A and B are shown apart, each in its own frame.
Chain A
Amino acid sequence: MGDAPIEFSIVQELIYELTIEEVMTRSVVTITPDETMHDLKELLRAKRISGVPVVEGNKLVGVVSIERVIRSLEAGEKDARVRDHMTDTPCVMRADETVIMAVNQFDRTGYGRFPVVDRDGKLVGILTKGDIMRALVKQLESRYHADEVERYRASHVFQDIESNGTSLILRYHIAPRDFVRGGEASSKIKKALTRLGADSRVVRRIAVAAYEAETNLMIHTEGGEMRAEVHPDSLVLTVEDSGPGIPDIEQAMKPGYSTCPDWIRELGFGAGMGLSNIKASADELTITSEVGVGTRLVLSFKLR
């Protein structure tokens, strides 16, 4: 299957998202073109670096590295100007480009650093592979931390909020015949309960019941609403639709009883097990229905 989507890792996502401005080093050691190679040597030694951008006024005019210093000293040109030894068409990065551009440039050129300029060519920073590594590690760390905090907050929502009875209500609209989005509401309920720290076996029963109720609404009704009321120790799932209603509830509850047309059965629905699966999953079930008005299902589950 050639059209399967590519999955990105977080790091890949980050290098496409982060801009160079966000990861570069802002305080840049620079030299002017009129200083001497001897000045440059002293500067590199003092700062323990191996190359610097050359700046005239505010503009970046070149780069010069330690190899040039060695070459000029070997040739005895201690008083030569930086201007005569710099690379005056340096490979630069723009601050608003994404980190992926820089990663590709490092790869292609083999250079160790790139001066970073803004849109006017003004030098605003310098970028090394180390800057990129540091930024990625920092981002991953802060994302991990944010996840942790979020998970903690979700599982403590009931303890953190003071009231005589705290509950959380989740509402989902179920559209008729929307087979593409089928199962979405149940999957969101399942995710929410897991985040809230509910026991996985109970979550599974709730998910089964919610899925069956959701597909019932989708297949048989003109649409409706599913409401999950989460209390500290229990969950009440109310499923309401606006018709057509069930003429004989007792018959509808029988395993294998189905009113589904063939085309729906061909999709794998209509086994006639929906309501009996719901009944088997829930701790309590009440169902009321009126033909021409609608059906209301109230399911309750003990969470502990």
Chain B
Amino acid sequence: MNVSDIVAALPVRVVAGADHLQNEVTGGYASDLLSCVMAGARKGNVWVTLQAHMNVIAVAALLELACVVITEGAALDGEALIRAEQRGVVVLSTEQGSYETVAQLSALGVSGGA
């Protein structure tokens, strides 16, 4: 599965990294604590969080995540978006909450604990 499949199936907008929608998705991880993500998320995971912060981009880039889904309509600032584009991090944004988002990803076949 690619990020583009997620973009097609979920109510999300691509806000950064539109050139990398072919990223392979290996599983999913949800948390708002960066250290937990550092310890728990795997390469190619989708990360669901309501954090919208520059360091989200840093963590996603370091872990080579397939994409980040930012929930509850939280907006990344311009500088973070520029950083995301530079590092090739795919950022998706959705109005719905993390719970619904994870449920939809799960229904799509994205599993946790990859």
Proximity bits, B86-109, A CB within 8 Å = 1, else 0: 010000010000000000000000
| B33–A273 touching, CB < 8 Å | yes
| A269–B39 touching, CB < 8 Å | no
Q: Which residues B44-79 have CB closer than 8 A to chain A? A: 49, 51, 53-59, 61-63, 78-79
| B62–A187 touching, CB < 8 Å | yes
Q: How many Å from the CB of A127 to the closest CB on chain B?
A: 31
User: Residue on A with the closest CB to B16?
Assistant: A4
Distance, CA A221 to CA B18, complexed state (A): 37
Q: Is the interface of A mostly helix, strand, loop or mixed?
A: loop
Is A5 in contact with chain B by the CB < 8 A criterion? yes
Is A182 in contact with chain B by the CB < 8 A criterion? yes
Is A211 in contact with chain B by the CB < 8 A criterion? yes
Is B10 in contact with chain A by the CB < 8 A criterion? no
Q: Which one, B35, B54, B55, B57, contacts A273 given CB within 8 A?
A: B35
Q: How many Å from the CB of A228 to the closest CB on chain B?
A: 15
Which residues from chain B contact A186 at a C-beta distance below 8 Å?
Answer: 58, 62
Central interface residue in A4, A186, A212, by most chain B CB within 10 Å: A4
A184 with B58, Cβ < 8 A, contacts A211-B38, A212-B35 known: yes
Distance, CA A179 to CA B80, complexed state (A): 11
Central interface residue in B53, B56, B81, by most chain A CB within 10 Å: B53
Which residues from chain A contact B43 at a C-beta distance below 8 Å?
Answer: 204
Is A207 in contact with chain B by the CB < 8 A criterion? yes
Which residues from chain A contact B7 at a C-beta distance below 8 Å?
Answer: none
Distance, CA A272 to CA B19, complexed state (A): 35
Q: How many Å from the CB of B94 to the closest CB on chain A?
A: 13
| B16–A268 touching, CB < 8 Å | no
| A187–B58 touching, CB < 8 Å | yes
Which residues from chain B contact A211 at a C-beta distance below 8 Å?
Answer: 38, 58-59, 62
User: Residue on A with the closest CB to B78?
Assistant: A3
A5 with B81, Cβ < 8 A, contacts A208-B38, A271-B35 known: yes
> Residues on A close to B: CB < 8 A?
1, 3-5, 7, 179-180, 182-184, 186-187, 190, 204, 207-208, 211-212, 215, 267-274, 277, 280
- The 4 A-B pairs of least Cβ separation, nearest first, read A183-B58, A273-B35, A271-B33, A271-B35
User: 15 new A-B pairs (CB below 8 Å) besides A208-B63, A271-B34?
Assistant: A1-B93, A4-B81, A5-B81, A179-B55, A183-B58, A186-B62, A187-B61, A208-B62, A215-B55, A267-B51, A267-B53, A268-B51, A268-B56, A269-B34, A271-B35
